Chain A
């Protein structure tokens, strides 16, 4: 999952993210690729961001497949919708987990407007 790894590594380099200046807490992403589990731990202290690969306790844990993770980092996925669909499973602090959506690129920037509503 090079795309996802690159995304989190880039986040680690940023250090401070003003989009999270109201956020305080720890969030872990558990990304499953078949039998393989890749974990990223984010510690956020009012915008100060520490990103480390690997396990560790967190107030919110997001469990998702590598496909869903890649779609998110490519900006092809609305995180709240994916959670309502059961594609992202959140354990722990849901409000904190939902704040993480801000870190990912905007879905609409990556796709054509109008396309996803074929049904109506």
Chain B
């Protein structure tokens, strides 16, 4: 797979189009550009020419996520364009793609114009693109009618189809449509183009009809976006970078909302463009955790759908167990024919504990006890999964080893690429593996589960048991994972219990979960902020000096904004406000180089050397938990935490942030404001900078 710099995207949930800056789509098989819905590429070619020439963009307006306007002139990239003829392509995405094309003649004589739109549809599954699979098992077909070109793909009873129509008379051929026109001086010509995507069943009806009927009318999109932004807290700050990233994050979170089939119309965050435009357990749970103080409405549907799709039985293809929360749900051809196990796939070990963590944190913010009671059974099943199905070696840890050896995931933690878990010398451990941060999540889940059991489920015995288990896990973990001579926690345990000794960002999550004894925290923090891990922008996934370190290694050296936001949260929890502030400042600074839209990851190069954050080649953008990262960093700078029914605020602003005010923060208190002014941060000596947290002893 590869991606193209300078793409322009237009998004509506899991329907999206990614094009070049002129609005054209000219997709190579392994390039994630084109028009997509339900994990399928419906347009792989969508190229505009005038008199045989491709167009060049003079400017692009993509300030709204669901529409883009391209201002174009014919011809290639040149220093100076003498443009008599120009065009505006105004694109909008909803259930279908609509594009209004207007051509202007500002010359002094008539212009004879041959306007052509080239169209092709390869119906590639997103995994065909990812793995560069070019042969399709089914067959393509083409139908031509007046002003309408239909391209389709059929494999048995599986059918996907796109129809392109034009409002003006066109000559249609199998590869596109053509408009011949004579345009007098000062005149313009327009046509409305429409690409309608269908997934017909054998009886001709679209299987998505029932779900689509539940979505609001396309024309109300601007209103719903305005309402979404208006309902969120207002940010008032003198830091323009923070203002920009906050606004962009809210818009992108709105863009990524989509309605899965199983949820009766409610929307949850899709994970990210272009590879992850669907429901992911881990991504959606962590995104909700990051955004509770701003957009708590994302959380109930997320918990409900993950609960509804919770595993109920063992399945060795889907890597499912009773109580396990899903990893990934797909709707494309590879899921339909079970060439990929995504219907749905359960190969993650952190989503189950994080389900309980989110349920508890959500209640702490909102006071919504009804949801805690509604999801009692699911939360208990997720907690039971930790002990009954994840402890593969009976040693009291959460382990993973895929049972689906053909297409399951080798690494089932957030760093889920094949080489992400290694020893310091580069060796890869055997299976099963137990990564450190997941033990922290399990500890946190048990601790929080105990509160839920005692307060809402009327089950003090269960609460006592969970608390004892959490305490025992903490002791065990600090015995088996701690590398005393190095002063940090092992990245993982190998199958035989040997600590996998690489220095990684994972240790930062342990602070967030509270499994680190306070006397060990300073040594962990020293490593996190050391030049080996901290690049100047953020904490690298893997420390410089580790054998597999590569500043452009997906999980082996890049900086992930989401990862850093949880590390910053952990640092505040343990009283390291200055260090949390350095991370917040570094990540917000980096965002300005991405126009306020933090990508999935960026290069781990030293900030002093490159002076700008280096783009990671295939990074997703927008990415839900990267958008969420800026919101969580605001929470950590303000030191906000629910405390006995009110919102506690303990601000610690890093240099460069003179003032931050977050207004109308929703919660069990109604709406309140949080204010912060910059003052020098005290050194973390007495722990008074930590904000109250119910589960930290």
Contacts and interface: CB of A to CB of B under 8 A. Distances in A.
B210 A113 contact: no
B253 to A, nearest CB: 23
A24 interface: no
Contacts of B338: 78, 81, 116-117
A80 B342 CA distance: 10
Scoring B159, B200, B207 by chain A CB atoms within 10 A of each residue's CB, the highest score goes to B207
B262 A113 contact: no
Most buried by A among B158, B203, B261: B261
Interface in A89-120: 89-95, 98-99, 102, 106-109, 113-114, 116-117, 119-120
Interface string B249-266: 000000000000111100
B112 interface: no
A85 B308 CA distance: 22
Contacts of B403: 113
Contacts of B137: 119
B165 to A, nearest CB: 25
Contact of B261 (A21, A94, A102, A120): A94
Given A94-B210, A108-B317, A117-B338, A89 B158 contact: no
Contact of A113 (B201, B205, B405): B405
Contacts of A2: none
B482 to A, nearest CB: 37
A119 to B, nearest CB: 5
Contacts of B308: 22, 95, 99
A85 B336 contact: yes
Contacts of A21: 377
A120 B341 CA distance: 12
Contact of A109 (B211, B315, B343, B404): B315
A117 to B, nearest CB: 5
Nearest to A120: B339
Nearest to A87: B157
Interface in B388-430: 403-407
A31 to B, nearest CB: 15
B314 interface: yes
A48 B263 CA distance: 22
Contacts of A114: 404-406
Contact of A108 (B156, B316, B336, B405): B316
B344 interface: yes
A95 B312 contact: no
Contact of A116 (B261, B262, B317, B331): B317
Contacts of A84: 158, 207, 331-332, 335-336, 343
A19 B406 contact: no
Contact of A90 (B200, B202, B207, B407): B207
Contacts, number: 101
A41 B377 CA distance: 27
B157 A91 contact: no
Contacts of B339: 116-117, 119-120
Given A108-B317, A113-B405, A114-B405, A81 B335 contact: yes
Contact of B312 (A87, A90, A102): A102
Contacts of A19: 312
B262 A94 contact: yes
Q: Chain B interface secondary structure, helix, strand, loop or mixed? A: loop
Contacts of B343: 78, 80-81, 84
A80 B39 CA distance: 15
Contacts of B158: 84-86
Contacts of B207: 83-84, 86, 89-90
Contacts of A93: 210, 264
A91 B331 contact: no
B347 to A, nearest CB: 13
B131 interface: yes
B263 A85 contact: no
B669 interface: no
A78 B339 CA distance: 12
Nearest to B374: A22
Contacts of A120: 131, 133, 339, 406-407
B315 A95 contact: no
A86 B308 CA distance: 23
A82 to B, nearest CB: 8
Nearest to B309: A98
A36 B385 CA distance: 44
B337 interface: yes
Contacts of B264: 93, 95
A119 B343 CA distance: 18
A113 B406 contact: yes
A95 B405 contact: no
Given A94-B261, A94-B262, A89 B201 contact: yes
Interface string B232-264: 000000000000000000000000000001111
A93 to B, nearest CB: 7
Contacts of B407: 117, 120
B316 A113 contact: yes
A51 to B, nearest CB: 19
Interface in A20-74: 21-22
A11 to B, nearest CB: 15
B157 A86 contact: yes
A21 B404 CA distance: 30
Contacts of A108: 314-318
Interface in B301-319: 307-308, 312-318
Interface in B284-316: 307-308, 312-316
A80 B320 CA distance: 15
A85 B337 CA distance: 7
B261 A89 contact: no
Nearest to B158: A85
A34 B568 CA distance: 63
A76 to B, nearest CB: 11
B385 to A, nearest CB: 16
A81 B336 contact: yes
A89 to B, nearest CB: 5
Interface string B200-236: 1111010100110000000000000000000000000
Interface string B338-353: 1100011000000000
Nearest to B331: A84
28 contacts: A22-B377, A78-B318, A80-B335, A81-B338, A84-B158, A84-B207, A84-B335, A84-B336, A85-B336, A86-B159, A89-B202, A89-B207, A90-B210, A92-B210, A94-B210, A95-B263, A98-B261, A102-B312, A102-B313, A106-B314, A108-B315, A108-B318, A109-B315, A113-B316, A114-B405, A116-B317, A117-B407, A120-B339
Given A86-B200, A95-B308, 19 more contacts: A21-B377, A22-B307, A78-B338, A81-B336, A81-B337, A81-B343, A84-B335, A85-B337, A86-B158, A89-B205, A89-B207, A98-B261, A108-B315, A108-B318, A113-B406, A114-B404, A114-B406, A117-B406, A119-B137
Interface of A: 19, 21-22, 78, 80-81, 83-87, 89-95, 98-99, 102, 106-109, 113-114, 116-117, 119-120
Interface of B: 131, 133, 137, 156-159, 200-203, 205, 207, 210-211, 261-264, 307-308, 312-318, 320, 331-332, 335-339, 343-344, 377, 403-407
7 smallest CB-CB distances across A and B, nearest first, come from A86-B157, A84-B336, A108-B315, A108-B316, A114-B406, A80-B343, A108-B317
